[in-house]
């Protein structure tokens, strides 16, 4: 079967923190929107992850999931192209998490940087729980169950993808070789037939003994071009070719895309926990009020004092929203005290008001038709479950558990 999406699956998730802000939009969502047209994409709302820290009061979870979904759709995530779903609607994640927990050394989890960092930072919650320690492994299950190749995430998540790679490697090492692997591989090689059987053996020898990369490529092509092979035999032949056994769980990679730095109103990174955000669907009057009060270069105490854009968070917004001419006007006007800060902010107010107005317009349809949203999630979760089940069956088989 051919796939319309070369380059492997993409998977990412987001915690349901409630309404998303412009930092989420420019930092992640716009990138996802682009990716959905280039790859097969799975995007999910990580409601179980939210419980790993917010277990004391989950009462607003449904509302938060709902808001995030609306923000996703307003941003342009397209349920006709990407698979959008909610983690807890795909319980297969939990089974894989459990199975992976059997082979994950405690030290791997204790060493994940966010484990100690967050325990130190978040003082008002008891994070000495089993769920919190295991949460990066739950994330590994989220990724591995879709055999995703690329995981678009921020810097803070790279260690989690690294853990995922180690976990996959360990799993494949332990279970990737069936007890009768050699026998089954031998049978699969014979089933290639005549010349191809001989060719496969030659290519394998060339790669294994002489490290010829080209032989590996040709060997893979030979296996892939044979559409009479079962999936299991194909995996055996590919694994044997490389000498690794079978990669039941392929290793994913973090996809780090350059995204703009979105400053919050106080100049720190825009973040819900700092209370310095502009929501994606904020009311226009409120956008204007907030921007007018936004922090600028403190050197400009008086209108006649010149400033330095590089020390001003408003300048970071110009980098996102303004064209070259406006940027030049702002930078020169700032350094010469030719313009005031309010003047400098005016074109941004216009751009950002236009942006939120458009996002609000697109959200309207979903706000008016809650059943539309329910259908999108139900359909996405079903699609995700099909993909998740396929992996889980192989995992169960490899671990000698019943598979349906
Ligand atoms: N842990 C991520 C966060 O806090 C969210 C997440 C959960 C995720 N599972 C994932 C991201 C899988 C990428 C892949 O932002
Ligand atoms: Fe910032 Fe613009 Fe004021 Fe300069 S003029 S300090 S760039 S808001």
Number of the ligand closest to the Cα of 292 = 2
> What structural domains and CATH numbers belong to the chain?
9-177+251-260+370-398 (3.40.50.620), 181-242 (no CATH), 281-367 (1.10.240.10)
pLDDT tens per residue across span 129-139: 999 999 999 99
Please tell me the distance from the alpha carbon of residue 150 to that of residue 7, in angstroms, as a whole number.
9
In the predicted structure, residue 339 carries a pLDDT above the cut 80: yes
For range 208-223, the mean pLDDT: 91
Q: Is the CB of 46 within 6 Å of ligand 1? A: yes
pLDDT tens per residue across span 234-254: 888 998 998 877 778 999 999
Q: How much distance in Å is there from the Cα of 270 to the middle of ligand 1?
A: 19
Number of the ligand closest to the Cα of 322 = 2
Number of the ligand closest to the Cα of 152 = 1
Instruction: Band the pLDDT of 330: cuts 50, 70, 90.
Output: very high
* pTM of the entire predicted model: 0.86
The pLDDT value given to residue 25: 97
Q: How much distance in Å is there from the Cα of 13 to the middle of ligand 1?
A: 5
Number of the ligand closest to the Cα of 315 = 2
Instruction: Band the pLDDT of 7: cuts 50, 70, 90.
Output: low
Residue 264 near residue 277 (C-beta atoms within 8 A): yes
In the predicted structure, residue 69 carries a pLDDT above the cut 70: yes
Of all protein residues, whose CA lies closest to atom 8 belonging to ligand 2? 341
Choice from 300, 347, 349 to test ligand 2 binding pocket (greatest atom count within 8 A of CB): 300
Q: How much distance in Å is there from the Cα of 86 to the middle of ligand 1?
A: 12
Ligand 2 atom closest to residue 312's alpha carbon, by position in its atom list: 1
With pLDDT > 70 as the criterion, what percentage of the chain qualifies?
97
The pLDDT value given to residue 180: 77
Q: Is the CB of 13 within 6 Å of ligand 1? A: yes
pLDDT tens per residue across span 175-209: 987 767 888 899 999 999 989 999 999 999 999 88
With pLDDT > 90 as the criterion, what percentage of the chain qualifies?
80
Number of the ligand closest to the Cα of 46 = 1
The pLDDT value given to residue 247: 79
The pLDDT value given to residue 336: 96
In the predicted structure, residue 1 carries a pLDDT above the cut 50: no
The pLDDT value given to residue 3: 41
Q: Is the CB of 152 within 6 Å of ligand 1? A: no
Ligand 2 atom closest to residue 345's alpha carbon, by position in its atom list: 8
Residue 43 near residue 12 (C-beta atoms within 8 A): yes
In the predicted structure, residue 146 carries a pLDDT above the cut 80: yes
Place of tokens 């607003």: 60
The pLDDT value given to residue 248: 87
Q: How much distance in Å is there from the Cα of 300 to the middle of ligand 2?
A: 8
Q: Is the CB of 12 within 6 Å of ligand 1? A: yes
The pLDDT value given to residue 286: 98
Instruction: Band the pLDDT of 81: cuts 50, 70, 90.
Output: very high
Q: How much distance in Å is there from the Cα of 365 to the middle of ligand 1?
A: 28
Q: How much distance in Å is there from the Cα of 122 to the middle of ligand 1?
A: 18
Q: How much distance in Å is there from the Cα of 273 to the middle of ligand 2?
A: 25
Q: How much distance in Å is there from the Cα of 375 to the middle of ligand 1?
A: 24
Of all protein residues, whose CA lies closest to atom 15 belonging to ligand 1? 14
Residue 81 near residue 37 (C-beta atoms within 8 A): yes
Cβ < 6 Å from ligand 2: which residues?
Answer: 296-297, 300, 307, 309, 312, 314-315, 330, 334, 339, 341, 344-345
Number of the ligand closest to the Cα of 333 = 2
Q: How much distance in Å is there from the Cα of 139 to the middle of ligand 1?
A: 6
Q: How far is CA 173 from the centre of its chain?
A: 26
The pLDDT value given to residue 4: 45
- Sequence-ordered list of residues with C-beta below 8 angstroms from that of 173, at least 6 positions apart, any chain: 245
- Among the ranges given (8-22, 81-95, 118-132, 372-386), the one the predictor scored with the smallest mean pLDDT: 118-132
Instruction: Band the pLDDT of 2: cuts 50, 70, 90.
Output: very low
The mean predicted confidence, pLDDT, of the chain is 93
């Amino acid at each position: 079967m051919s796939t319309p999406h070369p380059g492997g699956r993409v998977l990412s998730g987001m915690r349901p923190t409630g309404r998303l802000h412009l930092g989420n939009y420019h930092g992640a969502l716009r990138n996802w929107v682009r990716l959905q047209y280039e790859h097969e994409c799975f995007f999910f709302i990580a409601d179980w992850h939210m419980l790993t820290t917010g277990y004391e009061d989950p009462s607003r979870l449904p509302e938060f999931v709902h808001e995030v979904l609306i923000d996703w759709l307003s941003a342009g995530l397209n349920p006709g192209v990407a698979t959008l779903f909610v983690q807890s609607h795909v319980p297969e994640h939990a089974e894989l998490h459990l199975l992976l927990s059997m082979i994950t050394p405690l030290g791997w989890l204790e060493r994940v940087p966010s484990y100690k960092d967050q325990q130190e930072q978040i003082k008002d919650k008891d994070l000495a729980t089993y769920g919190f320690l295991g949460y990066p492994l739950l994330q590994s299950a989220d990724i591995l169950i879709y055999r995703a190749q690329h995981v678009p995430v921020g810097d803070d998540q790279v260690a989690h993808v690294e853990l995922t790679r180690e976990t996959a490697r360990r799993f494949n090492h332990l279970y990737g070789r069936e007890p009768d692997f050699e026998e089954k591989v031998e049978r699969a090689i014979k089933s290639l037939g005549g010349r191809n059987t001989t060719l496969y053996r030659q290519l394998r020898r060339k790669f294994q003994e002489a490290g010829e990369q080209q032989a590996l490529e040709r060997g893979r092509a030979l296996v892939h071009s044979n559409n009479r092979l079962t999936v299991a035999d194909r995996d055996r032949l590919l694994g044997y070719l490389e000498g690794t056994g079978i990669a039941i769980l392929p290793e994913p990679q973090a996809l780090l895309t350059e995204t703009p730095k979105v400053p919050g109103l106080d100049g720190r990174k825009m973040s819900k926990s700092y209370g310095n955000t502009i929501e994606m669907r904020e009311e226009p009057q409120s956008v204007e009020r907030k921007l007018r009060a936004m922090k600028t270069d403190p050197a400009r105490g008086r209108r006649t004092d010149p400033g330095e854009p590089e020390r001003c968070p408003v300048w970071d917004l110009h980098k996102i929203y303004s064209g070259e001419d406006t940027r030049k006007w702002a930078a020169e006007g700032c350094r010469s005290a030719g313009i005031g800060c309010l003047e400098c902010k005016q074109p941004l107010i216009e751009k950002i008001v236009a942006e939120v107005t458009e996002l609000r317009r697109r959200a309207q349809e979903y706000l008016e038709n809650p059943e539309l949203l329910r259908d999108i999630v139900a359909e996405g979760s079903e699609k995700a479950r099909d993909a998740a089940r396929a992996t889980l069956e192989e995992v169960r088989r490899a671990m000698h558990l019943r598979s349906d």
